Structure formats: C-alpha cells, structure tokens
Amino acid sequence: MSQEDKQELKEVPVNGNVSLSGEIPPDFRLTPCCEVPKAKHPRPVPEGAWEMSTEGILGPDSQHAYVQRWYSMVQQEKSGSVKFQVVRNDSKRESLMLLLGLKNVFVRQLPNMPKPYVTRLVFDRKHESTILTKCTSSREYVVMGGCCYRPFLEERFAEIAFLAISDSEQVRGYGTRLMAYTKERTKELGLTHILTCADNNAVPYFKKQGFSKTITLEKERWQGYIKDYDGVTLMECVLNPKVDYLNIPSMLKAQKMCLIEKLKEISNIHIVYPGLDPEIRKKIRLEDIPGLKEGLEQSERSLGKTIPLESLAAPRDPASLQALHKELQQILTQIKQHQSAWPFLEPVDPEQTGALDYYEVIKNPIDLRTIQERLDRGDYYVTKEIFAADLKRMIENCEAYNGEKHFITELAHNLERFFNQKL
C-alpha cells in the first residue's frame, strides 16, 4: 500500500465506539472530512421547545448500508485480513506470483477473454494492477481479485483492461474498495481520467463507481490508445483531486451536516416541541398542538396564501367515522381469525417466548390486541391509512427481530398478504 499503509488507513475517522471485529456498533458516528461551519442565523427556539443537534437530526451513521460496508472493509484492512497493493512486473518473484494469481482470477471470472491475451496484458511491463489479497487460516495471502490498467502518463489518463473479484468474495464491498484504491493510485500518478470498455454486464458496476457513458476527455488525448472491442461501451470516470476516494462516507457526512446547518436558517428542522399526551386526544384543539401553528405560518409565507387550520385535520363526521370503524372491525376480526395470526394476538411476553431483549431491539411494539384497543377507543383510527400503518409496523417489527428466514416471519408475511387484500 505504501505511504505507511496509507497513513494507517487515514486513521479511520470515527466517533463513538469502535469494534475491531468488523461488526459496526449501533451508535457508530463518522467524523466529517472537514470542519463544518455552523448556521449563521438559525431560527430561534420558542419557549417550551428545545434544539436538536445536527448529529441528533442525522442519527447514527451505522444505519446506512454503505457505511456498514465501508466500516467492515476498513476494519479488515486494519486487522490485516485483507490487503490492497499495487503490483507491476518488476521481475521479482513476489510480484510475479501475485500477477500469476491475478491472471488466474481474470481467466476464471472473465471466460470470454482469451487466456493468452489476459496473460500478455497482466504481465506487460507497461501495465500495473491493484491486487486484493486475503489472509487464509494458514496465514498465507491468496489473490481474490484485482484491477489491471495501463497508465498513459503523458496523456494523463489510464485505461482499465480487466477488473474482477472471485465468486466467493463478491457482494461484500470488495469491488467498490478495489476501485477506490485504483482511483487513489491514478491520482498519485497525476492522471485526471480513467477510461474502460465495459460489456453489458459490467456497465451497472462502473456506473455505481462514478463512470459515465459521456466522454469528456478530448478525443485526441485517447484516440489510438484505447483498444476497440465489439459489443462494449466506452465509459469514463473524471478524477477529482480533492476527493479522498478511500473515505467517501466521511465526505458525505460533511455534506449532510452542511445541508442541515443551512436548513436551520430557513426551516424549523432543529426545533423539537414536546409531544402530546395520548390520553387527552379528544380534548386538544389544533391550535394547541405545539409547533403546528408556527409551521403553518411558515408554509403560508412560502406559498403566499392562507391555509385554514381546519384543513389539516382528518374529517370527523360522526357517521363517516362510525362507518369506517365498522369496516375496520370487520377486517380486524378476519385478521385475528387467520391461521397465521396466532403469534401476533397479544403483546410479546419476553419470559414466555424467550425473547428477553425484545423491547430493547423493538422500540415501537404493536400487536393485534393493542390495535383492537385503539379501535375500541373510537378516536385513534380516523383514517384507514393509520390502521394499515400499525399492521405494517407489526410485520416490520417481526422481521427486524426474527430475521427474514424465521418461520414466524413467514407467518407474518402470510398475514400481510391477507390483510393487504382486505385493505
């Protein structure tokens, strides 16, 4: 990797707990790549409300799949279980063994490419390769994939010839990380563009990595250097010298924080009002709901027209509500009688079911008995959408706790299909 292993992988910008096992902590927060300026004139917080921080608005970064993959990859690199390194044919035994392993991966993963052609380019001294190796149980590093490319230093671009990851290591983020190292390497060489000829199967991957079918590089710089193949698409990636491609999540964090700070000046995104007491729903007036009037006034200024406060409420015609509740009761009765409904009839009993951590994992539990109680109150389900939202949350809670393949989740999906037909 060189440069002191990329300055210890850029020292992994994180806040909060860090797990060296590769599993991201639930409260994991990234440190932005740069200092984010605070809002100059945020909207004042009214009396009785409080201000939520920018970090609080964004929430933990561990909720994002791209951060989870990035975190796992960084931890694997820090532990030494995987390595990315640039290799050229310098006639040294170690380099030749790595290139031989990479050639075998390309031949196996790219069966349409002639073996002699792959061999010639991989071992060509004008080409170089970013190689992914993984440590085995015997503490030996085995080539699992790589990217072979040729830098054209005078023309300041590189052409990717081959890129592949072994079957066993795909869909784990290695392809994205491999491309990030390749981009950083081409930046070190002073190059501004990367070109490649992608077949139909590879086009989606390259699009995700920032490649485009629109070629902005001057034709005279690449014409005559790029190999022309039938049935392929020429694609281009423009390199930004200011972007650290190995730490994209921390750059995105800075951009999101900057956006939140700007929004504080034109909206109430940072203002939190106290919640409502569900026991006094029948007695509260719309104008007494904290923040509703202020938000309405803001919308009126933006739209340039008056919005009647009453228009925000669902219709409360007694006859219509009675008809709605009768329909919902019929649907709920059929749901409770369904053969897949038995796990959801009552609130989860941690002792009886063995799910001792259920209420630690599931923060907003719901079940058919609770739904029945809300329906009996007469003032909760004022629309069918609110009723459907509770049913949907019950299914989502089940899948979140039990996993996709658990038999209880299968029952939940059976029940979901049934009530979707009824609704």
Catalytic residues: 159
> How many angstroms separate the CA atoms of 167 and 169, rounded?
6
Q: Are the C-beta atoms of 384 and 423 separated by less than 8 Å?
A: yes
> How many angstroms separate the CA atoms of 178 and 76, rounded?
14
* 317 CB-side CA count, 13 A: 5
Dihedral (Cα; 104, 107, 110, 114), 10-degree rounding: 150
**Helices and strands counted in the chain (H then E):** 16, 10
> How many angstroms separate the CA atoms of 309 and 287, rounded?
8
> How many angstroms separate the CA atoms of 333 and 344, rounded?
13
Residue type, 397: N
Nearest to 141 by CA among 82, 182, 86: 82
